[in-house]
Amino acid sequence: MARIFKFNIGDLDAFVLEEDYFETSLDDIFLQSSQSVLAKVFNKFNPKENCETGFNYLGLKVQGKLVLIDTGRGTGALIKGLYKLGYSPESVDYIMITHGDSDHVGGLSDFKYAKIVMPQKAFDLWSNHNSYNQLLSEFESAPFMGNVPTNKMAMALLARKKYVDFLQNLPKDKLILIKEDEWFLNNLKFIYAPGHRSDHFAIEISTDKQSLIHYSDAVRHPLQMVNPFVHSKYDSYPSLFSETLQNLCAYSKLKKAVQFCTHYKFPGFLN
């Protein structure tokens, strides 16, 4: 049964919904070159060691509005979690999108009444023909796709194309585009965080008392927090990923922020 974790970000009520998790080896997560680096740094590094990969999604109440960050793969687990918290899909007011991978936007159709909140930059990338093709290409060429069966690869690419169709058919009054450094509901702000994908963003949630930085997929394993030059097979641009991770870590330290990511073990906190 999917887990739920309730907590507070300052005076904001927040929660984490687990959609799923699976056990995988470090060998399946990290590039071979990074495994060599880890073996030199950590005497006990074992590429066959298993770790938990989570699918964790953050929600919170801001100014009386229910905000969900990403929608998972659309398996129904997040819907069940919302019901357990006393919410329905119809009660979600806003969905903030970190990037267009299917495990982040696959459940968009479950929230018919929610307004979609996304960065202007990300929307422009998906709306432009050339950058759209690049977004498809960078996903298809990510190292982990080399181990994905052809039929599943086709499904993953189709999901990205469906995302574009969803955005194109979305009524204007259901879409809120946020500019760089613009705050949404006074407490939330997108931070451009490329490397995992070109359209990838982190999110800052700040109150007078506390801040949280949602890394989304800008980190996948604790070892990357020790050495940001350790690259996973899931990132399209490893070098850019390292720069982004260093910047997010420095900003989190400056803000003394709680750190959260989608694919850490439940409930997804880095610190």
pLDDT of amino acid 37: 81
d(CA 36, CA 224): 14
Name the more confident of 153 and 62: 62
Strands 188-192 and 175-178: unpaired
Name the more confident of 118 and 45: 118
At residue 153, the 3 state secondary structure works out as helix
* pLDDT tens-digit map of 144-167: 998 888 998 888 889 999 999 999
Mean pLDDT across the stretch 175-204? 97
Mean pLDDT across the stretch 120-142? 96
Q: What is the mean pLDDT of the chain?
A: 95
At residue 71, the 3 state secondary structure works out as coil
Cβ atoms within 10 Å of 49's Cβ, excluding its own: 10
pLDDT of amino acid 202: 98
- Whether 60 shows a pLDDT value over 90: the answer reads yes
d(CA 158, CA 234): 18
Q: Is the peptide bond before 267 cis (omega within 30 degrees of 0)?
A: yes
pLDDT of amino acid 222: 87
Mean pLDDT across the stretch 182-188? 98
Q: Could you tell me if residue 186 is left (phi over 0), alpha (psi between -120 and 50 degrees) or otherwise beta?
A: left
- Please state the φ and ψ torsions of residue 65, each to the nearest 5 degrees: -105, 140
Residue 133: pLDDT band with limits 50, 70, 90:
very high
DSSP symbols for 243-269 = HHHHHHHHHHHHHT-EEE-TTSSTT-B
* pLDDT tens-digit map of 71-97: 999 999 999 999 999 999 999 999 999
Cβ atoms within 10 Å of 65's Cβ, excluding its own: 13
- Whether 45 shows a pLDDT value over 90: the answer reads no
The H-assigned helical ranges of the chain are 26-29, 32-41, 77-84, 102-105, 120-127, 129-140, 150-168, 222-226, 238-255
